[in-house]
Amino acid sequence: MEKPVFTGNFTQQEPIPEAAIAAALDVMRSGRLHRYNLLPGDEGEVAALEREFAAFTGARFALAVASGGYAMSCAMRAIGVQAGDKILSNGWTLAPVPGAIASLGAIPVFVETTQDLTIDLDDLAHKARESGARVLLLSHMRGHICDMDRLMTIARAHDLQVIEDCAHTMGAAWRGVASGRHGVVGCYSTQTYKHINSGEGGLIVSDDPEIMARAVVLSGSYMLYGKHTAAPPVEMFENVKYETPNISGRMDHLRAAILRPQLAALPQQVARWNALYRMLEAGLRNIAGLRVIERPPQESIVGSSFQFLLPDWSADRMRALLAACAARGVELKWFGAAEPVAFTSRYDSWRYAPPQRLPRTDAILAGLIDMRLPLTFSEADVRMIAEIIRDEVVGASTQAAE
């Protein structure tokens, strides 16, 4: 009997909504793409997006910027990170996170990863004590949120300022508190594969008026900060405007216009993602040798990607599984390869950071499989994907046992 082959595309996103296309056309017809190029009395798409995103997250202030990576580097500059400072961060994340640290001349100090794919809080406390770092750039990698109550207790005990990288958790929460709202700053991405899509883009939120005033000036406000509606009062800028450099990274009206209707629809999109995620999760349960990541009840997820572990599998078996699934149309990524492949690099590939050893993270990454779950997939697609993965994992395990 011929094995089924999946014919969908793991990188195909949904079309931009018609309302967003119409808003983008209006901006293009106006010719006023720069965020500060406004007619009298006009709020503008960027300021409107900031106001709406602040309301969405429950933050006092929001700033729209050019990318998620820019959001992180801007946030670190805004809290006072200097070249040579040690910055704690996840051992398992994507390269833009340590890249943002390195862009300031700061030094990444990597923290171990747990089997639940979150930052190891015991190792965090240890590294905070040993390193003397005063900042944690916390990556909610692939949407997995750690125990944020315990993390913030550790942060307070060690005088750590927490910046949250929420590139994969826009719309998620821990105990009902929106991701990005536990630390002093939250950073988000609107790159194509994130939860709202403008190709590139980012957002910053904070309740701290001085930090946000610095971020606004850093983003390139040219003393036009009075045109921000989700920003601190103008008098706050008097304290920072002369000493904060312009490192231009603004968002433009075109991207903001594309994003605003998507932000309004995000709760419905989250429900769709989570239905697909739970279906795939159910399809991959109870497979010998395969570990599904159990999500804690305190975590409100956005299931836009899926991960599972194959503990104790050799590198050759992992490569063979990826090839077998790819031959049947299922595109899996592996974070355990010795060399970077596309976005799946390991901490020891980031040679702009000092050499470090994370044996527990190494063991996790050796068996870690990752896949996207775009909303262009149907429930039937997800059932077929689960069936194919199940077939190939069971087949590989049978072969290994013979």
pLDDT per residue over 295-354, tens digit each? 999 999 999 999 999 999 999 999 999 999 999 999 999 999 989 988 899 999 999 999
Give pLDDT, residue 239.
86
Residue 389 predicted with pLDDT over 80:
yes
pLDDT per residue over 205-236, tens digit each? 999 999 999 999 999 999 999 999 999 999 99
pLDDT per residue over 64-94, tens digit each? 999 999 999 999 999 999 999 999 999 999 9
Residue 398 predicted with pLDDT over 80:
no
Distance, in Å, from the CA atom of 392 to the CA atom of 20, rounded to the nearest integer, reads 41
DSSP state of 245: -
DSSP state of 227: G
pLDDT band at 2 (very low <50, low <70, confident <90, very high): confident
Mean pLDDT along residues 41-58? 97
Residue 171 predicted with pLDDT over 70:
yes
- The torsion of the CA quartet 209, 214, 215, 221, rounded to 10 degrees, works out to 110
pLDDT band at 402 (very low <50, low <70, confident <90, very high): low
Percent over 90 (pLDDT), the chain: 95
74: helix, coil or strand? helix
Give pLDDT, residue 232.
97
Q: What is the mean pLDDT of the chain?
A: 96
Distance, in Å, from the CA atom of 208 to the CA atom of 281, rounded to the nearest integer, reads 39
Residues in Cβ contact with 180 at an 8 Å cutoff, skipping those fewer than 6 apart? 57, 59, 164, 166, 169, 170, 186, 187, 188, 205
Mean pLDDT along residues 227-256? 96
Kind of pairing between the strands at 299-300 and 202-206: unpaired
**Beta-ladder partners of 62:** 205
Residue 397 predicted with pLDDT over 80:
no
Sheet holding 173-174, edge to edge: 177-178, 173-174, 299-300
Residue 123 predicted with pLDDT over 80:
yes
Residue 399 predicted with pLDDT over 80:
no
Residues recorded for the chain: 402
Mean pLDDT along residues 130-136? 97
pLDDT band at 401 (very low <50, low <70, confident <90, very high): low
CB 287 within 8 A of CB 393: yes
CA angle (168, 9, 256) in 5-degree steps: 45
Mean pLDDT along residues 47-63? 98
Q: Which residues of 138-147 are buried (b: 16+ CB within 10 A; e: fewer)?
A: bbbbbbbbbb
Q: Which domains does the chain have, with CATH numbers?
A: 18-261 (3.40.640.10), 266-401 (3.90.1150.10)
